[in-house]
Structure 1
Amino acid sequence: MIKKSFLIFFVFLLTACSKNDKPIIAFYYWKTVFKLSETEKEVLKDNNVEKLYIRYFDVGLNPKTTEPIPVSPIHFQGNVSKFDIVPVVFIQNKVMLKSNINVDDLAKKTFRLVNEINVKNNIVCSEIQIDCDWTLASKENYLRFIERFKKLSHKKLSATIRLHQVKYFKRTKIPNVDSGVLMYYNMGTIAPDSINSIYNHQIAEKYLKSLKKYPLHLDIALPIYSWAIHIRNQKVIGLRSKLNVAQLKKDNNFEQINSIFFKVKKSNYKNGFFYEEGDMLKIEPIAAEDLKMMGEELNENLADTPKEIIFYDLDEFNLKNYEKNIFEQVVSCF
């Protein structure tokens, strides 16, 4: 009887432990040259990060021939031997929208280039990720591409999933992959109004209830970047990366109007872009409190616990906006 009771307790203990397993912390790396700064190395070490999702190249269309081509393949200047590397290929949706696209040929060429980059840099990977915001019009080509790529690679295959693809999965369909990564950002429209297009709780609520019904396991990607929306005459003329409130406060060419809006006082060039007197910049940041709110609302609505929380993206500019233990705090929400 004692042995039986102990066995029941032991099984219960194992079950409890498995339920309480926290997701690991991982990062996306989205530059064209892989070279970690000291700050980036420190964050990876402090958070015991062993896995990096590295953008290998984009797939776009040749403007002259409209044929698919690789865009800006990555160059490695740093050692990645201590990390589990997941190559990520971003495929522009316009590629999949081509009615006469040769999906088999595209899959072969995409896998070949991933493999060439791996061989050149002595990287052995067990997983590849395909990133594409496919639509109803492009889904057939995309789903066929995934099928073909999976057969070619013989590796674990993951795919990025957007909120609209979760909510309307019966129409958008589910790619034949081993797991998905929910991109929990870029929710709103890029516009001159005050709503943050990267994350907005009210917009998120329209999709959250759908998560429990989604049949594919989802890991989570969360944003740690910010950008500025460049506005002229109440019209958006572009997105400006690597700009934040602290930077603009120090620049006499810009006047702070409120917590997120700056006005150009004097025409000037900044970071390679021209700002005309009277232009507006709308800063869209992601605060630590936003990240924790994301973690809490996702935890309440996901069908199962994610194995990974992947932060987008690993960049010294982004990392300096957060306290040292923010990533552990967010993961503890799950």
Structure 2
Amino acid sequence: MIDLVVKSCGPMTALQDRGRFGYQGFGVSPSGAMDRRALAMANALVGNPPDTGAIEFVNLGGAFTCDGGDLRLAVAGAGAVASIDGTAVPPLTSFILREGQTLEVGHPRTGTFAYLAVAGGLAVEPQLGSLSFHLRSRLGGLKGASLQAGNRLPCRPEGQAGEPMELAADISEETGPLRVMLGPQDDYFTPDSIRLLLESEFTISPQADRMGFQLTGPKLEHAKGFNIVSDGIVDGHIQVPGSGQPIVLMRDRQTAGGYPKIATVISADLARFAQMRSGTKVRFRAVERDEAVAAARQLRDWIASLPTHLTPVRYALTTEHLLSRNLIGGTVDALSPVSHD
């Protein structure tokens, strides 16, 4: 077994995969990667299925070494970059971290969440079918916790074969307002509130985490009060409590709630929203079910196509690269007798 050893990382650095499903009826949140596109990209670069568990960075990066062998790794998401012993790794490429070297992953530069994937995946025991760490329940992660300096993550040595690859696929996404479907309780709001939601600008508040992003902006008035019989919640539901300020529920959300939901951010736009930092201005646009389904299928197909966009890394013939390839198979002393055997 080869260990990926954590030298340093931010306080919310943790293991995440697609999430755990089938347990919401028991009050267990699905959790999972906040940006499943970036998770899929990192995994594609090292030959893993798109939902394989990886390390998720939140705002900060980290430093790592390996013990017991070499590891094939990749970083993707929010413009995060990596370097090995101070030498930069080109973006969206996989690379080999050799035993004794130090990998440094920089902080996400264009968003919040970035991912470090290991070829073959992490040999960490899942909980309820998932590695995803959920802070409030202490499920998943590494023994029910986020990562910290000194942790050792076992990796499968059989997954390390293969050459570094680069990914030429661009993220195809909407750049305008976030698309939402109204409901399921839009009838609990006045017509003016629906209009304000779709015509006004909101700001992501500093009160934002993996559970939900609170927005500030025009107050959304309730037509029937702000309490309902608690019902089920999905990722992207926009819940409006008594304050009238909407909260977009994210991956670590609760499984049921008693505030009415005015609308739901469609699944294809949720990763884009997750990467928006506090202070970012957002707008919403209502769509019908057919457009939401078509967007979800387009994202699914794009993720499935990622392996077709991989090509071998083309290295420049620098001295550093040539020395790293171990091109010399041995040496001969010119004064030694020559054997003719």
The answer to whether the superposition gives a TM-score over 0.5 is no
TM-score by length of 1: 0.26
More helix by share: 1
Q: Does 1 or 2 have the higher relative contact order (CA < 8 Å, sep 6+)?
A: 2
TM-score by length of 2: 0.26
